[in-house]
Structure formats: structure tokens, C-alpha cells
């Protein structure tokens, strides 16, 4: 079994209203000195069998096409267990 984590974040130059709302709330709730909060998506994907290079390549492609929108988002992909 393989487990892959994909984190998708808005590109740094794109407005992140969600992160801003969280930043404001953290401040109001007494956490000081928060300079930035960005909120993204966290996918945990489990696959049966081993993650061979074909499937790894497919995952990488789909992380950029399906899980994220390259016009506004970046992603990072981490293989936890191959």
C-alpha cells in the first residue's frame, strides 16, 4: 500500500480571503504576532500495491490538473509510503 500527500496552496501572489479571515480570528483570540496565514487543501491518497513510476507520474500529472488549478494554485506532492 502506498500513501501520498498532496498539499495545494494558492500561489503567493493570489489573494487568500480564507487565510486572511483566519489570521484576523487568531489575532482576536489572543495569539499575537501572526504575520500571515494561508489556507490550502490537504489530500491524503491511498493506493493499493506499490507506487511504480507510471502511477507516480500519473499522480504528479493529476495533482497539477485535477487537484489544483495551475492558473492560481501550486501543489507539493509527498510520497509517505511507496
Binding site for other proteins (CB under 8 A): 10-11, 13-18, 20-22, 24-25, 28-29, 39, 66-67, 69, 71-72
Single residue of 36, 53, 71, 78 touching its own copies by CB under 8 A: 36
Single residue of 13, 17, 44, 53 touching its own copies by CB under 8 A: 44
Q: Is 46 in the site for its own copies (CB under 8 A)?
A: yes
Q: What are phi and psi of 51, to 5 degrees?
A: -90, 90
| Residue from 44, 38, 42 nearest 11 by CA | 38
In a 3-state reduction of DSSP, which class is residue 9?
A: strand
Number of residues located near its own copies, criterion CB under 8 A:
36
- Contact criterion met (CB below 8 Å) for 19 and 37: yes
Q: Which does 78 bind (CB under 5 to 8 A by kind): other proteins, its own copies, none?
A: none
Q: What are phi and psi of 34, to 5 degrees?
A: -80, 115
Q: Is 47 in the site for its own copies (CB under 8 A)?
A: yes
Amino acid at each position: 500500500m502506498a500513501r501520498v500527500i498532496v498539499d495545494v496552496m494558492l500561489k503567493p501572489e493570489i489573494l487568500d480571503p480564507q487565510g486572511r479571515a483566519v489570521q484576523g480570528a487568531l489575532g482576536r483570540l489572543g495569539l499575537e504576532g501572526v504575520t500571515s496565514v494561508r489556507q490550502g487543501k490537504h489530500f491524503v491518497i491511498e493506493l493499493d500495491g506499490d507506487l511504480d513510476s507510471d502511477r507516480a507520474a500519473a499522480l504528479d500529472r493529476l495533482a497539477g490538473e485535477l487537484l489544483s488549478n495551475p492558473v492560481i494554485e501550486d501543489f507539493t506532492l509527498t510520497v509517505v509510503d511507496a
